[in-house]
Structure 1
Amino acid sequence: MKAIKVAILDLYDGHPNQGMRGFKEILDRYKAKHNLNLVYQVFDVRGKAEVPDLNFDAYISSGGPGSPVDSEGSVWEQRYWELIDKITACNQQADSVKKHVFFVCHSFQLMCRRLQLGEISLRHSPSFGVLPVHQTALGRQEVIFEGLHDPFYAVDSRSWQVTHPDEDNLKKYGAVLLAIEKERPYVDYPRAMMAIRFNDYFFGTQFHPEANPVGMKAHLINEEKKQQVISEHGERKYDEMIERLEDPGMIRLTQSTMIPNFLDQAILSMQEA
């Protein structure tokens, strides 16, 4: 059985996180469920400027801390864009096996910045919690959302945002806005873009579809983390997040749906080729 190779692009720059564990768990579960010869390799993009070659079938690019603006021109980001450009060129060849990329949170912001699809800015206050994500009309036709409710729930953890979609550039690149954040009628803030299909093979989310409710809960009930969350966001927000983590129709559904649907697409491309 031919190996299916997945590259995980780690943009956490050595910071403690739940994301990398989430990606690995999804891939391990997908491999076992479908009895596949699936292998994956992690590349420390920001810490060591490591990037994979084109000998992978799918790529998952993680979230990460800090500004998605200040890294412009850095060595690691230059190498990152060289990889994305090579994948793009490969996908544009008529007889090539198409390579799919999933961009999460920080990676999503980088792509939006590069393609100028909206305004990149610091939020008025950090977003943190298990929050509803609303699909657009086109989002309801998106295969990666198949099996999710509308709205669906996802872990949102970010200080930055992408707002004010640039319709001209979306059209220029053939990108489609698929989801936006919850409406907040009591404050005069724009709704952030939460998911975009950049093209037939590139897909991205502002939230964390890899989040594991068990791991997240274990992380949050740690006394130090609990007090940090309560200090920053309030006890009510903390209690709400714990409650939503335990609801099987919220993040558990999102984690078991989106990236597996993405992998289905990537593997279908291989089979068609």
Structure 2
Amino acid sequence: MRAIWKGAVAFGLVNVPVKVYSATEDHDISLHQVHDKDGGRIRYQRRCEICGEVVEYKNIDKAYDDGERTVVLTSEDLASLPVEKSREIEVVEFVPSEQIDPIMFDRAYYLEPDSKSTKAYVLLRRTLEETDRTAIVKFSLRQKSRLAALRVRGDVLMVQTLLWQDEVREANFPALDEKVRISAKEKEMSAALVESFSSDFDPENFKDDYQEQLRTLIEAKLEKGEALDTDETFGETEEGEGGNVLDLMEALRRSVEKNREKKTGEGAGKKTSKASKKGA
């Protein structure tokens, strides 16, 4: 990993020098656009509407237009902002971790100690763990002022940027104002359905089906070209019961039965697999 930012976490008079790394990465297959007629690649050009020239990134500034006037802001102008010059992750407050609504979480970054002594780093990490608190911090990154949650993941401190309050939309759905009667039997069956799906979350149990199928499609098309038969490649798609309108209780009952049968089949498959390994 390559550090994208260097600075220090500051709370009170304590400074913790850190390097910042992106904690996540995109695994999507990269695709580009082509002309359907001849396969020519579609490219976008940064063309000036006044002189008609194609402009390089180094010659592009930013501007604000209020409808009547335009203010051009150069990279030097933006770099002169006091908050942009700061290399400090300022702790504003420590809050109970459960008070942060997950809808506010945005990008995640790991913090690596950037000092020969890791004592202050470890002290801050242990304090957050033992008090079950999250630090609300402010810092500047890539020409934006960020609000973030500084928290612990394993042995590492990380900051997860937060959306500002005015960036989170309020949900107002009139249908939810209507009174709905739920019977005891419906709640019981719904709870049974939840129980039939209950498990411990393990991210390794899940995969990105779309990206896997896209890779399969690309490899098949490289091999067979336009003679590719997608039904042969992927098999026929199963149709569900989406066209049938089911009573809520009947839908719950069928769902519970279907999931129980699925789990029973999976359990039998695992036992057979273990038996085969022992026999071998």
| TM-score, structure 2 normalization | 0.19
| TM-score, structure 1 normalization | 0.20
